[in-house]
Amino acid sequence: MCSSYWNQAVDIFMSDRFCLYRNIAAVIGTAYVLRFLLKKLWALSGGFCAYFLAPWGISRINIKKYGSWAVVTGASEGIGRGYALELARQGLNVAIMSRSREKLEKVEEEIRSKYNRDVRVIPVDFSEGQSVYDDIQAEISDLDIAILVNNVGTGIGGESYFSQVDPLRHRKVIELNCQSMIQMTHLVLPKMLEKKKGIIVNIASILCLFPVPLSTVYSSSKIFVLHFSTALQTEYKSKGIIVQCNSPGYVATQLVGLKKATWWAVDPVAYGRSSVATIGLQHHTNGCLTHVFQKKMVEMLLGQKTAIPMLNIRRKYFLKRQSEKQKKEH
């Protein structure tokens, strides 16, 4: 019965009186397919340029055309240091910020000896909040800033249920991961708008792909970085401002507890070089091919917005660590 009704419906639709509707449906279907294919082709071409051509100097933008100085927060080690070294290698002077003057001076010495660029060391503890930004403004107000890299950030320091974390610790995560990015953007954006050019890079994390239980506030802070960057790019793209969000996977840094690079956790200096190459080519990047593969694997295994599988995995890891800790104590 159902089959006969279906056949009758098909016959009616294929009759001459529905010819116009069939043509409209065909045009809409063709336009949708073409749009889908062009979108995928554009994404592939952007990735190809970013990860295969730009590292060799092909199709990449000349950041020196945007100004003579780079400002990098959280630059004493890890990804921030990688960015600072690469931007100096490309001919920019660098203002570097972090809490430890001693570590910053080591980066300063490295930049001066390798690339002979001017370096401005600005020790600052971003966890102190609003009070630090007047001092930062005084330090960078005379600089012709080409690029700001908002890299400073922190984690919780292990997997924990939300209620087990000191609220002050959560506040520090928000202060460093979110508020510092907003305030630094406030400081540099007006002058970039005056000269109608500038670059802002905000460092998020591959954890911005989905909610991450046991790192609830940290992962939430990173999706904020992504949304902030995307919205800011939409607002100021027509005014000559490039805003990029970088969502790295595993990099051999203190934050993830790795001192040496592995096949899975890339070297921060190499990561800085590959990430800078993607500027102007991708508004949201993973920085290097290794992290693109990490992102795709996570999406395939867990689902892009599924928190439950992640909770199960991290709960087992959390309980295992707790058990090991208790054994050591006894």
218 belongs to the catalytic site: yes
Instruction: Flag whether 232 is in a domain.
Output: yes
What is the CATH number for 121? 3.40.50.720
pLDDT digits (tens, 9 = 90+) for 121-174: 999 999 998 899 999 999 999 999 999 999 999 887 666 788 988 999 999 999
Instruction: Flag whether 168 is in a domain.
Output: yes
Instruction: Flag whether 180 is in a domain.
Output: yes
CA atoms within 13 A on the CB side of 98: 23
Structural domain including 195 reads: 51-316
- The total of other beta-carbon atoms located within 10 Å of residue 11's CB is 9
From the candidates 51, 66, 115, 218, which is the catalytic residue?
Answer: 218
Instruction: Flag whether 188 is in a domain.
Output: yes
265 with 82: CB under 8 angstroms? Answer: no
Instruction: Flag whether 20 is in a domain.
Output: no
The domain tally of the chain equals 1
Enter the tokens of residue 140: 């960078």
Vertex 226: Cα angle to 222 and 230 (nearest 5)? 165
Instruction: Flag whether 33 is in a domain.
Output: no
Which among 198, 167, 212 has a CA at the least distance from the CA of 302? 212
Beta strand 145-150 with 69-73 is parallel
| C-alpha to C-alpha distances, 117 to 88, 92, 93, 104, nearest whole angstrom | 6, 7, 5, 15
Taking 50 as the pLDDT cut, the residues of the chain under it are none
Instruction: Flag whether 116 is in a domain.
Output: yes
CA distance 118 to 88: 9
How much is the pTM? 0.79
CA distance 49 to 281: 7
